[in-house]
Chain A
Amino acid sequence: MTARRVPLTGLPPRLPGLRLVLPLALIVPLGFAITNIARTGQLDPGPMDLAVAFVALVAVASAALAVSGYRGDPLIFPVAATIGGLGLVMLNRLPQQPLGLNLFGVELGMAATQLVWFCLGVTVMLVIALRLRDDGFLRHFKYTWALAGALLLVITFLFGREVNGARLWLYLGPFGFQSGEAIKVSLVVFIAGYLAENRRVLAGASLRLGRLRLPPVPYLVPLVAVFVAVMLVVVISRDLGTALLFLGIFLTMLFVATGRRSYVLMGLLLFVAGSLVAYQLFGHVRVRVDNWIDPFVDPTGAGYQTVQALYAFGRGGLFGSGLGQGLPMVGGHLPIPALPTDFIFAGIAEELGLIGAAGLLGLMLVLVVRGLRVAMLARDDFSAMLAVGLTLSLGLQTLIIAAGNLKLIPLTGITFPFVSYGGSSLLASFAVVGLLLSISHRTALAVAAEGAPDQ
């Protein structure tokens, strides 16, 4: 299937990507310095090794992309790196108590552990972006990917370790990872492959049920079956955030592929019905929804997290309390439980204010727009659908967790891509970026092969 070979060498380096990561060399060390000055009360920038290491990592990765003759989107990686940089500044500011990795006998703090994951994530991204010459193994084995995802899900459900009431962690010896992140990517690959193949059939409706026009049922069955199976297991294992994310990705991809609003409408109706059933059946769903409607009913118990997050947004105000100057400790603990993971957005909003939080969301918006642009320019349906799905997985995840922090929707525990503390999330997010880069790279090469002006 390697019809069009992608030459990696022989292309001259292109450097505009480097210029875009330069501001990072200022912004991350500045964040570290503010934190240390505020914490010690001395005019001392403090240890900079983590900040320098992060900037070096991003610079090396950008240089590797430029030197290897990468021709795809020049903005996606710098934006992702900037978002990650903000996250690192925030994690460095938090107490390094929940010690992460123990690497070769050296105890690493939270920020250092995150940096190790950054290294791994960026490596994965580079390998996917530069070495993935052909997406045939994604395109042709879509059922294998669906099966792999489903299998992972079942394994997690059976053997996973339960943390905070949800069974999300799978342990291989001492190494644990959140399988939901990998399942997310494989699900997107499957949906993209299926929709690219059957798009035309699904777009034209043949069956009529009263005023409803349905697509030919046999074509919808595999898609819906895989999806329902995934949703069932996810909901039973109480991972509500991931369930919501999967549903959003699924419906939006279906809409993008077919251009039919009725599918989305039907999906939303099913979602509302399912939510009502879940509210009646599951206690933990009821707790979440009740907390969302009024967390102040039980401000020290069930509503504690949400109430504290709202106070954090309030304390932050417009410009924020300043790095290292907000988030007062309550009894030796951070004011919001799970702050480094689920509530990092609330933490950023307190210390950098509305302006900083809006800036973070703005960066995410740029990333989403670029991802959709990759999809728009792609030359075949599979690449386009894959790019849409991957971009959506980042965008919707951000939307769900930020809105959850803000009490716009019921709180669901998922990570903020590139920002939250956690290896699985970082690895998956960078793998997604790597796939986007590789799609974009192949499109650009195809354009160049025709002698058309480059973009």
Chain B
Amino acid sequence: MSAEILRILLLVLQLGFLALLYLVLWSFARALLRDLRSAEQAQLDSRTGIGRLAVLESPDDEPPVGHTVFLGPINSIGRDVNSTIYVEDDFASATHAMLTFRGRAWYIEDQGSTNGTYVNGHRIDRPVALAYGDELTIGRVRLRLER
């Protein structure tokens, strides 16, 4: 085989290699753009809320474990059936705590409950700003604030 033909062959293979590389890159980029669009759509569809509470632990299963409660800006938590978030637990008070969205942050305030309100295992004695991912304990019920 002459050197000239080999040179041309190598050039063709090299260009093929680069073309293949860009084909791969293109397939990744396409998947990326598709996901961006559908994520935008999903955000429009479902993320009108400001947050939600995931129920991590609930001995009497009300609210049910694994359930997610979508939150409005003002939520009362307690054993009173008229509470926004109704907690059927012997260790919870009737009006136990208030969970409110003020400005750009969530706050939890104890409403003079008998057994107290806990944030990440610490009992609170004044309104406390929450971060997404924080855990609340109301009686024996554990809840997690999520986006």
Contact = CB atoms under 8 A, between A and B. Distances in A.
Contacts of B27: 20, 23
Interface string A17-35: 0001001101100110110
18 contacts: A4-B54, A20-B27, A23-B24, A23-B27, A27-B17, A37-B6, A78-B28, A86-B21, A196-B131, A200-B131, A322-B11, A352-B17, A353-B18, A366-B25, A366-B32, A446-B146, A449-B66, A453-B42
A366 B30 CA distance: 10
Interface residues of B, number: 43
Contacts of B11: 322
Interface string A315-334: 00001101101000000000
Interface residues of A, number: 54
A400 B107 CA distance: 41
Interface in A96-127: none
Contacts of B32: 75, 366, 369-370
A446 B133 CA distance: 13
Contacts of A41: 3, 6
A4 B56 CA distance: 7
A78 B24 CA distance: 10
Interface of B: 1, 3, 6, 9-11, 13-18, 20-25, 27-29, 31-32, 35, 38-39, 42, 45-46, 54, 56-57, 66, 68, 105, 129, 131-133, 142, 144, 146-147
Interface in A361-413: 362-363, 366, 369-370, 373, 377, 379-383
Contact of A363 (B25, B42, B147): B25
Contact of B17 (A3, A31, A455): A31
Contacts of A24: 24
A422 B16 CA distance: 29
B36 to A, nearest CB: 8
Among B25, B39, B144, the one with the most A-chain Cβ atoms within 10 Å of its Cβ is B25
Given A319-B14, A455-B38, A366 B46 contact: no
A75 B30 CA distance: 11
A359 B17 CA distance: 11
B101 to A, nearest CB: 13
Contacts of B13: 30, 33-34, 37
Contacts of A199: 131
Nearest to A37: B10
Contacts of B23: 23
Interface string A172-205: 0000000000000000000000001101100000
A43 interface: yes
